[in-house]
């Protein structure tokens, strides 16, 4: 299945700016992208990164089989427009193409595993959604030419409504790993707790000095030197 | 399977105090407990509420078959102690009992469904855990007499370590519904977005005036009158 991975290459992860410099945010974003690409290839699919700025996949230091399966294309449009252009009913598609399903997986799903993705990709509904926290849509599969995304606002509810309007069947996939997008400092805990052995994002965060801090029973992440400041 | 549902009856949901009065927090906590009990019974099991204070299940207005299946017992000890007393190796158990598995499901898993619970309860590992956000343990099944819980701190990691120490096999269950405990105001969004048709907690929140607010593209919950205050 074609798996589109949108990537905001220019201003990655601005909501992490209280704990990471711009260069660090970029490094973490690229590490998470690498982990997502590995998970997609591990599930047996070929990821296409749709990047808002030029991106050289060679610089991600991907394993050979992942680099061989992945491709990248530039699209400066909004997330919604860039995704819709690549859905079954999108601009590059014609009615005679038949309907090849398309999956869309966000680049910051640092906990994604081949198993979690396969549970989504193996659905049969016209539209299958793995919701994110806060009403978001973290990953979906589209098999209906009338369906289009709208990522603004409570996209999970909007996508349910759009599916209903176009007569598409809908399934919701229940996955903590796919529901966990890494946007805010509190989300970094999830990367450190649940990141897979050998994954890039937890390694990157640990190199930056982050560690789990549960001294007073509440769990947070701390960074080298934070302890003395309290 | 015996399904223990610990319930903090006296000071429920204090981290919601910025948006709910004490009486409202109690009502929401009871609504969530009712939803969890319905999900456990819907999955074909009999829930035992372990409450820190006297609780009359009749006052929860449960459906008849849920009320008939549920029981309540009083235990003023800490969460960890009250749960450990009821695990296969706990104080009420003897070696000649054989090992009846015990599940522990938190009372604030407002999104729990019979399917999500069944995915946990149908595991076969000695210990199966549905992690919560922030390194927590939202639900687990214990089939090994040597395993004991410790809910303080990063309990998910601690429980993995305890399982390893006692030689118990461990499985992690990937469920957004079970990972979502309702602790903080931001969590209320999840109840409104993903609460099941007819569930008590979303109905309760809506009666208190909460609704999804995504006017500026960020999703939050607002309450009657909040709009004019901004």
End-to-end Cα separation, chain A, in angstroms: 50
Which residues are bridge partners to B18 per DSSP? none
CB atoms B194 and A154 under 8 Å: no
Mean predicted confidence (pLDDT) in B218-229: 62
Check residue A227 and give its pLDDT. 44
Q: Is B197's Cβ below 8 Å from some Cβ in A?
A: no
Could you tell me the sign of the dihedral formed by the alpha carbons of B122, B124, B129, B130, in that order?
negative
Cα–Cα distance between A87 and A100 in angstroms, integer? 9
pLDDT band at residue B207, thresholds of 50, 70 and 90?
very high
From chain B, pick out residues whose CB is under 8 angstroms from the CB of A115.
174
pLDDT in tens, A164-200: 999 999 999 999 999 999 999 999 999 999 998 889 9
pLDDT band at residue B224, thresholds of 50, 70 and 90?
confident
Check residue B96 and give its pLDDT. 54
Cα–Cα distance between B53 and B191 in angstroms, integer? 26
Q: Give A94 or A164, the one with higher predicted confidence.
A: A164
Instruction: Check whether B152 has a pLDDT greater than 50.
Output: yes
Q: Which of B153, B175, B214 sits opposite A176 (nearest CB)?
A: B175
Contact (CB, 8 A) for A138 and A93: no
| C-alpha B138 chain-centroid distance | 6
Q: Is B184's Cβ below 8 Å from some Cβ in A?
A: no
Mean predicted confidence (pLDDT) in B58-76: 96
CB atoms B154 and A178 under 8 Å: no
* For chain A, percent of residues with pLDDT exceeding 90: 83
Average pLDDT of chain A, as a whole number? 92
Cα–Cα distance between B105 and B114 in angstroms, integer? 12
Average pLDDT of chain B, as a whole number? 92
Question: Which residues numbered 63-82 in A keep a CB inside 8 Å of some CB on B?
Answer: none
Cα–Cα distance between B194 and B164 in angstroms, integer? 35
pLDDT in tens, A106-126: 999 999 999 999 999 999 999
Instruction: Check whether B149 has a pLDDT greater than 90.
Output: yes
Torsion angle defined by CA atoms of residues A122, A124, A125 and A128, in that order, rounded to the nearest 10 degrees? 10
Cα–Cα distance between B79 and B52 in angstroms, integer? 9
pLDDT band at residue B222, thresholds of 50, 70 and 90?
confident
Instruction: Check whether B93 has a pLDDT greater than 90.
Output: no
- Least confident range from A1-10, A93-102, A145-154, A179-188: namely A93-102
CB atoms A157 and B212 under 8 Å: yes
pLDDT band at residue A230, thresholds of 50, 70 and 90?
very low
Cα–Cα distance between B24 and B201 in angstroms, integer? 11
**Edge-to-edge strands, sheet with A127-131:** A71-74, A46-51, A2-7, A102-105, A137-142, A127-131, A170-172
Mean predicted confidence (pLDDT) in B186-194: 95
Instruction: Check whether A146 has a pLDDT greater than 50.
Output: yes
Cα–Cα distance between B127 and B132 in angstroms, integer? 16
The CB-side HSE value for A81 (13 A sphere, CA atoms) comes to 6
Contact (CB, 8 A) for A188 and A201: no
Of the candidate CATH numbers 3.90.550.10, 3.40.50.620, 3.30.70.20, 3.10.150.10, the domain formed by B2-229 belongs to: 3.90.550.10
B186 exposure class (CB count in 10 Å sphere: 0-12, 13-18, 19+): middle
End-to-end Cα separation, chain B, in angstroms: 50
Q: Give B126 or B212, the one with higher predicted confidence.
A: B126
pLDDT band at residue B230, thresholds of 50, 70 and 90?
very low
A68 exposure class (CB count in 10 Å sphere: 0-12, 13-18, 19+): exposed
Check residue B221 and give its pLDDT. 79
- Least confident range from B21-30, B102-111, B221-230: namely B221-230
Q: Give B95 or A157, the one with higher predicted confidence.
A: A157
Which residues are bridge partners to B6 per DSSP? B50
Q: Which of A108, A12, A112 is nearest to A52 (CA)?
A: A12
Q: Which DSSP state fits A132? A: P
Contact (CB, 8 A) for A191 and A111: yes
Q: Is A49's Cβ below 8 Å from some Cβ in B?
A: no
Instruction: Check whether A55 has a pLDDT greater than 70.
Output: yes
Check residue B94 and give its pLDDT. 57
From chain B, pick out residues whose CB is under 8 angstroms from the CB of A178.
176
Q: Is A136's Cβ below 8 Å from some Cβ in B?
A: yes
Structure tokens at B173: 């269950």
Cα–Cα distance between B12 and A220 in angstroms, integer? 23
Structure tokens at A163: 């599916």
Check residue B20 and give its pLDDT. 95
Instruction: Check whether A50 has a pLDDT greater than 90.
Output: yes
Q: Which residues lie below 8 Å from residue A216, measured CB to CB, with a gap of 6+?
A: none
From chain B, pick out residues whose CB is under 8 angstroms from the CB of A130.
176
Mean predicted confidence (pLDDT) in A46-57: 97
Q: Which of A126, A136, A132 is nearest to A170 (CA)?
A: A126
Nearest-CA distance A133 → chain B (Å): 7
- Least confident range from A22-26, B89-93, B133-137, B138-142: namely B89-93
């Amino acid at each position: 299945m074609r798996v589109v991975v949108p990537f905001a290459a220019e201003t990655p992860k601005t909501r992490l700016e209280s704990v990471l410099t711009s260069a660090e945010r970029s490094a973490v974003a690229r590490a998470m992208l690498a982990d997502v690409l590995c998970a997609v290839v591990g599930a047996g699919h070929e990821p296409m990164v749709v990047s808002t700025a030029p991106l050289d996949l060679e610089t991600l230091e991907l394993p050979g089989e992942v680099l061989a399966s992945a491709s990248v294309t530039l699209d400066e449009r909004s997330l919604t427009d860039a995704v819709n252009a690549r859905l079954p009913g999108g601009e590059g598609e014609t009615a005679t193409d038949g309907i090849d399903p398309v999956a869309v997986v966000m680049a910051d799903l640092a906990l994604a595993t081949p198993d979690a993705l396969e549970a989504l990709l193996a659905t049969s509904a016209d539209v299958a959604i793995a919701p994110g926290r806060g009403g978001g849509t973290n990953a979906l599969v589209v098999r209906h030419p009338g369906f289009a995304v709208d990522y603004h606002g409570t996209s999970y509810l909007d996508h349910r409504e759009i599916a209903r309007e176009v007569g598409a069947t809908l399934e919701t996939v229940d996955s903590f790993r796919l529901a966990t997008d890494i946007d805010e400092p509190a989300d970094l805990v999830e990367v450190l707790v649940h990141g897979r052995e050998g994954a890039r994002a937890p390694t990157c965060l640990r190199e930056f000095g982050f560690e789990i801090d549960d001294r007073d029973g509440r769990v947070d992440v701390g960074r080298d030197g934070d302890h003395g400041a309290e």
